[in-house]
Structure 1
Amino acid sequence: MRKAKGCVFCDIVAGKAPAYTVCEDELSMCILDINPFAQGHCLVIPKRHVPWWHDLTDEETASLFKMARHVAKCIMREFKPDFVCMYARGRRIPHTHIFLVPTVRGDVLDRFFNALEGVQEAPAELAGLRQPTIFREVAKRLRKSQDSIA
């Protein structure tokens, strides 16, 4: 596994930094977040140092998302939230990771995402992105781009 010097997640994978491990397989590891939004807030990380989720191999992607689904089911069973919010990051710690956050309607994370959706819908500068001609052009560009991506 490729490691990055100074990466806390690489140190956790290598056993050089402490973590509360939930589960792991050959390619991925699930740990508790040390700054949780809610009880049961977990991070699913690839064992190989990968800054961005879109740079994962197909095998790593499958492992990460299979583990995320498995742990989300455990979170639902044990903590009984309304749902488990999932999102991928890699910005503050440049080692991609999936957040799994038990969420109750109306809690701080739910309110944050509801507010974010309002921001996405409101600004005039984003209105231009919602035009049928723009949608067609963006879809066309993304379809064409698929031909050159392995």
Structure 2
Amino acid sequence: MSIFSKIIAGEIPSYKIAENDRFYAFLDIFPLAEGHTLVVPKKEVDKIFDVDDADLAELLLFAKPIAKAIEASFKCDRVGIATIGLEVPHAHLHLVPINSADDLNFTRPKLKLTEEQMKAAQQKILQHLNKQSA
């Protein structure tokens, strides 16, 4: 069972952003930027292109309002998307607020945010996400 499956099951705490019956989104605890969010299918599949076609398409549609909420929450030109998948054998998307291509450089040192900063980032995104659905 991957660490992401344990997070989805509630065995490991997370800063949840959104969830439905097939997908789960939460803040990356080792972010490239404040607001860096992971979007994962609940069904554990190692590689992104091994996710079945319907779930892969729905994953992007699930991520879209989250990306828009991130963009509205943090000073950035856009939200970049990356699928690296080397650290955790569970398909996932990285949604990262960016101002340049280098902002998606995963070899850079990650931020060390406090619990208060993580909760504040979570609340910002949730507020904008809730505005979209209202």
**Common fold by TM > 0.5:** yes
| Maintained 8 Å contact 1:87/1:98 | yes
Query: Which residue of 1 is the match for residue 32 of structure 2?
Result: 37
**How far did residue 70 of structure 1 move?**
1.3
**One-letter amino acid of the counterpart of residue 55, structure 1:** D
Per chain length, whose mean CA-contact separation is higher, i.e. which structure has more relative contact order (CA < 8 Å, sep 6+)? 2
Q: What is the percentage of aligned positions where both structures have the same residue?
A: 37
Which amino acid is the alignment partner of residue 79 of structure 2? V
1:52–1:89 CA contact under 8 A, matched in 2: no
The CA deviation string for residues 8-41 of structure 1, in whole angstroms up to 9 with x for no partner, is 1010111111111000111111100001111110
Moved over 3 A (4+): none
Q: Matched residue of 2:21: which SS?
A: coil
Q: Which runs of 5+ in 2 are unaligned?
A: 107-134
Q: Which position in structure 1 is the counterpart of 2:131? A: none
1:77 and 2:72 are equivalent in the alignment: yes
Distance in 1 between residues matched to 2:73 and 2:42, nearest whole Å: 26
Counterpart for residue 143 of structure 1? none
Deviations 1:78-137 (A, max 9, x none): 11311111011321111011000101238x526x49xxxxxxxxxxxxxxxxxxxxxxxx
State how 1:70-149 maps to structure 2 within 5 Å.
Answer: 70-105=65-100, 108-109=102-103, 112=105
Normalised TM-score (structure 1): 0.65
1:37-85 C-alpha deviation (Å, 9 max, x unpaired): 1111000001011000111122321221112211110011111311111
Count of paired positions: 106
Structure 1 residues not aligned, in runs of 5+: 114-150
Q: Higher helix share goes to which structure? A: 1
> Who wins on radius of gyration, i.e. which is larger?
1
Alpha carbons 1:53, 1:97 under 8 Å: kept: yes
TM-score, normalisation: structure 2: 0.72
Q: Distance in 1 between matches of 2:62 and 2:75?
A: 19
Structure 2: distance between partners of 1:28 and 1:78: 22
2:10 to 15, 20, 25: 15
